[in-house]
Amino acid sequence: MPNDDTEAESGEGVVELQRFTPLYLRTNTPKGRGVFTSAPIPKGTTIETCPALLLSPEENTAHIEHTSLYHYTYNWPLPAGGKGKTQAVILGLGSMFNHSTHHQNVVWTRDLVNLVVVYRAARDIETDEELCISYGDHLTFVDADRGVESEEEEMGLERIVL
Ligand SMILES: C[S@@+](CC[C@H](N)C(=O)[O-])C[C@H]1O[C@@H](n2cnc3c(N)ncnc32)[C@H](O)[C@@H]1O
């Protein structure tokens, strides 16, 4: 699910840090650790607002790409005047959301001025569902959902949550 960049969501040097609190981390999913909800989340709810730590392209290439942080950074447009993109480390739960190709229930928006990412519920989310975003089309790992999702596509079925 594509994200939308915004110029700024708040002004005056103040950024509201919203957080939906009844969440838990599972440590043993097929995707590693993952974020789950222990209460229903209505569509549109802000789940978390996470500060971003902007990296320079140089430090990214020289250092970050050679560490495990490489698997956690987000593409980020270069600040005003710069052409192209760099990477940012997203602090807080933002770095814990796993990817789902067909069943993302969370959308994210970059606030380029305030350097935060806002995560919101894309639909009503049930208790004990995992919160998943889209990392885009170029994954650097084998998608743990791959078999399940291609089976669903072949059968023309959407997953039914009982
Ligand atoms: C931003 S981290 C997400 C949190 C991570 N699961 C952890 O335990 O720290 C991204 C990493 O999670 C794993 N991951 C996320 N989505 C996945 C998926 N659909 N299938 C398999 N692994 C996934 C991959 O190892 C990926 O490099």
What mean pLDDT, rounded, does the chain reach?
88
Alpha helices by DSSP H, listed for the chain, are 57-62, 146-155
User: CA angle 32-60-55, nearest 5°?
Assistant: 95
113 to 27, 45, 60, 76, 128: CA distances (angstroms): 34, 22, 21, 12, 34
Closest atom of ligand 1 relative to the 71 alpha carbon = 27
Complex confidence, ipTM: 0.99
Please, which pLDDT band fits residue 33 given cuts at 50, 70 and 90?
A: very high
Apex 148 CA angle, 143 and 151, nearest 5: 125
Ligand 1: nearest atom to the Cα of 33: 8
Q: Maximum CA pair distance of the chain?
A: 52
Q: Which of 70, 71, 140 has most ligand 1 atoms within 8 Å of CB, for mutation? A: 71
Which secondary-structure segment (H or E) carries 4? strand 4-6
Residue 114 is given by DSSP the state: T
Q: Which domains are present in the chain?
A: 4-155 (2.170.270.10)
Residue 13 CA to ligand 1 centre (angstroms)? 33
User: Distance (Å, rounded) from C-alpha 68 to C-alpha 71?
Assistant: 6
Bridge partners, residue 132, by sequence: 98
Gap from CA of 9 to ligand 1 centroid (Å)? 28
Lowest mean pLDDT among 7-16, 97-106, 129-138, 145-154: 145-154
Across residues 108-136, what is the average pLDDT? 97
Dihedral, CA of residue 43, residue 45, residue 50 and residue 55, to nearest 10: 30
The distance from CA 93 to its chain's CA centroid, rounded to whole angstroms, is 9
Count the neighbouring beta carbons within 10 Å of the beta carbon of residue 93. Answer: 17
Cβ of 29 closer than 6 Å to ligand 1, yes or no, is no
Residue-wise pLDDT tens digits, 43-98:
999 999 999 999 999 999 999 999 999 999 999 999 877 788 999 999 999 999 99
What does the chain come to in residues? 162
Residues with Cβ within 8 Å of 29's Cβ and at least 6 positions away in sequence, in order, are 98, 130, 144
Residue 48 pairs in a beta bridge with: 19, 119
Mutate to test the pocket of ligand 1, among 90, 99, 138, 142 (most ligand atoms within 8 A of CB): 99
Residue 95 near ligand 1, beta carbon < 6 Å:
yes
Return the number of other C-beta atoms located less than 10 Å from residue 61's C-beta: 13
